[in-house]
Chain A
Amino acid sequence: MDLELILMQLFSGLALGAILVMVALGLTIVFGMLGIVNFAHGALFMVGAYAGLWVAAQTGSFWWALLVAPIAIGVLGMAIERFLIRPLYGRSPDDPLLLTFGLGYVLVESVRITFGTDGIPFSAPEALQGVVDLGVGYFPLYRLFVVGVVALVLLLLWVALEKTRFGLIVRAGARDPLIMKVLGVDVGRLWLLVFGLGVGLTALGGVLAAPMRNVSPEMGTLVLAEAFVVTVIGGMGSLLGAVVAGLLVGIAVSMTALFAPEMATIVMFALMALILLVRPQGLFGRPGAGA
């Protein structure tokens, strides 16, 4: 086994991990702020991919799909928060859990009915097909593009959270919603926006992932499990944790696939168990925080 192959697999893991980062970030932001574990998050990833497929078919442009689908699904997320989840605040924490769990099934079935059960190929735009020479070997251009988009989104997110007043409100609201209320912040509206942002991120992950695999109604199921593993490893509610753990899991899965393909899906759970033994709160989690 040569070094070139290992490096290529590492890059593949990075692209896989970048998608996971998008999904896990959405999951962890919503959990950190609203205290809700969104079981529909994987289905919304899948819906994002289909929305991308549909927009691309209508406009003939992948670029429109990349821009419009995450925003549209983000707005759908806001509607879900406003009309389905908001009535459940202040009740048993099981209620939003059951609701999102059921909603996930509804979304999957709706897509099955509308688009059929078969996987649909979704090809990357011509400009992003082909391979690039990274010096150590050739690498699919599209995967590089995915890593680049995710890096850009992370940068924008970081600037929005750390350098703007909106970010200050979000960070403070996550720690202490009560004090934000008595300082004049409509926390309900903040949660609406945060939920929409979280769903938009997973939808973006769905659109980005689509050209790397078939688009199918089940594509969200495995991703949801992976994203849970990532948030647990990174620390529930920790954004930095989601990024680091997402890349870590992506690379671990990808490298295992190279050396022991049959172990590829098990390795992330093993990693999770290992990290939980050493740091029960996850890599970047606050002790005692989270469920």
Chain B
Amino acid sequence: MAMLEVEKLNAWYGPSHVVHDLSFAVEEGEIVALVGRNGAGKTSTLRAIMGLMPRAEGRVAFDGTSLLPLGAHARFRLGLGYVPEDRRIVPGLTVRENLELGLVAAGRTDVGAAIDEIARSFPRLKERLNQQGTTMSGGEQQMLAIARAIISRPKMVLLDEPSEGIMPVLVEEMGTLFRTLRDQGTTLLLVEQNVEWALKLAGRAIIIDQGEKVYESSAAALLADKDIQDRYCAV
């Protein structure tokens, strides 16, 4: 059984139908890249899986549990993390408090230990634990958003364009982190505009266009196929 099974998923914003009969699966411990041009429906797909679309139909099963009847908070509690495209570091809270938000649902009381542990993977955050989260650079905020989503050790994480607007050194660091996570058994669904980078990380790739799946293959095959990349992913 796959970690995530999406079957004939449809999603709407009011009258506009933005995801059409989308089906795919993500196996446990794999990184899948979900790519496509602007407005293709990548964010809408992640939001539908997470329970944030005004209307979504079809079937989404996570680790054997049907997700669509559940609220977003219940989906997180099943072990499904989400890093939204706009990062959403909470203003008025320190880096430490933002990290603690990732632990509130788990009811973990050893916050200090959990934060020490996560800070080892995020040295840039460690130095800034008492700084206001929103005063950090964009890249640091992205790292914080990722750290906050994984501090409770979810089984799977949905990432919406984590490399966007981030300097190359940090993108490299992020790539290493994602590989480590995968090697530890975490499943990742990675939406990216930085196609080459994503394909080097991922095992498989899915392209969507106008809300429909138009291509699915190994990441290596898509990486080698410049024609397909140009057709569906050119910015």
- List A residues at the B interface (Cβ < 8 Å): 165, 168-169, 171-172, 175-176, 178-188
Contacts and interface: CB of A to CB of B under 8 A. Distances in A.
A183 to B, nearest CB: 5
A176 B73 contact: no
Contact of A168 (B71, B74, B100): B100
Nearest to B98: A172
Interface stretch (B84-92, B170-178, B196-204): B84-92
A208 to B, nearest CB: 31
Contacts of A165: 100, 104
17 contacts: A168-B93, A178-B84, A179-B88, A179-B90, A180-B73, A181-B76, A182-B50, A182-B73, A182-B81, A182-B84, A183-B102, A183-B148, A184-B76, A184-B105, A184-B106, A184-B152, A186-B73
> Which interface class (under 10, 10 to 19, 20 to 34, 35 or more) fits B?
20 to 34
B72 interface: yes
Interface string B39-57: 0000000000011100000
B40 to A, nearest CB: 22
B90 A172 contact: yes
Given A182-B84, A186-B73, A175 B104 contact: no
Interface of B: 50-52, 71-74, 76-77, 81-82, 84, 88, 90-93, 97, 100-102, 104-106, 148-149, 152
B142 to A, nearest CB: 14
Listed residue (A165, A169, A181, A182) with the most chain B CB atoms within 10 angstroms of its CB: A182
B73 A184 contact: yes
A178 B84 CA distance: 10
A175 B90 CA distance: 7
Contacts of B88: 176, 178-179
Given A181-B76, A184-B104, 19 more contacts: A168-B97, A171-B92, A171-B93, A172-B90, A172-B93, A172-B101, A175-B90, A175-B93, A176-B88, A178-B52, A179-B88, A179-B101, A182-B52, A183-B73, A183-B148, A184-B105, A185-B104, A185-B105, A186-B71
B148 A181 contact: no
B36 to A, nearest CB: 22
Contact of B101 (A168, A178, A187, A188): A168
Nearest to A179: B88
A180 B91 CA distance: 13
Could you tell me the dominant secondary structure of chain A's interface residues? helix
B73 A185 contact: yes
Nearest to B81: A182
Contacts of B84: 178-179, 182
A187 B104 contact: no
A116 B105 CA distance: 48
Nearest to B105: A184
Contacts of B77: 184
B206 to A, nearest CB: 22
B85 to A, nearest CB: 12
A183 B91 contact: no
A172 B88 CA distance: 11
A168 B104 contact: yes
A138 B104 CA distance: 50
A183 B105 contact: yes
B71 A181 contact: yes
Return the 10 tightest CB-CB contacts between A and B, nearest first: A184-B105, A184-B76, A181-B72, A179-B88, A182-B82, A172-B90, A184-B77, A186-B73, A184-B73, A175-B90
A274 to B, nearest CB: 28
A193 to B, nearest CB: 14
A165 B99 CA distance: 12
B74 to A, nearest CB: 8
Contacts of A188: 71
Nearest to B107: A165
Interface centre among A179, A184, A185 (most CB of B within 10 A): A184
Contacts of B51: 181
Contact of B91 (A168, A175, A184, A186): A175
A183 B104 contact: yes
Contacts of A186: 71, 73-74
A168 B93 CA distance: 9
A248 B179 CA distance: 58
Contacts of A185: 73, 104-105
Contacts of A172: 90, 93, 97, 101
Contacts of B148: 183
Given A182-B50, A183-B76, A176 B104 contact: no
A207 B88 CA distance: 41
B104 A182 contact: no
Nearest to B102: A183
Contacts of B92: 171, 175
B13 to A, nearest CB: 13
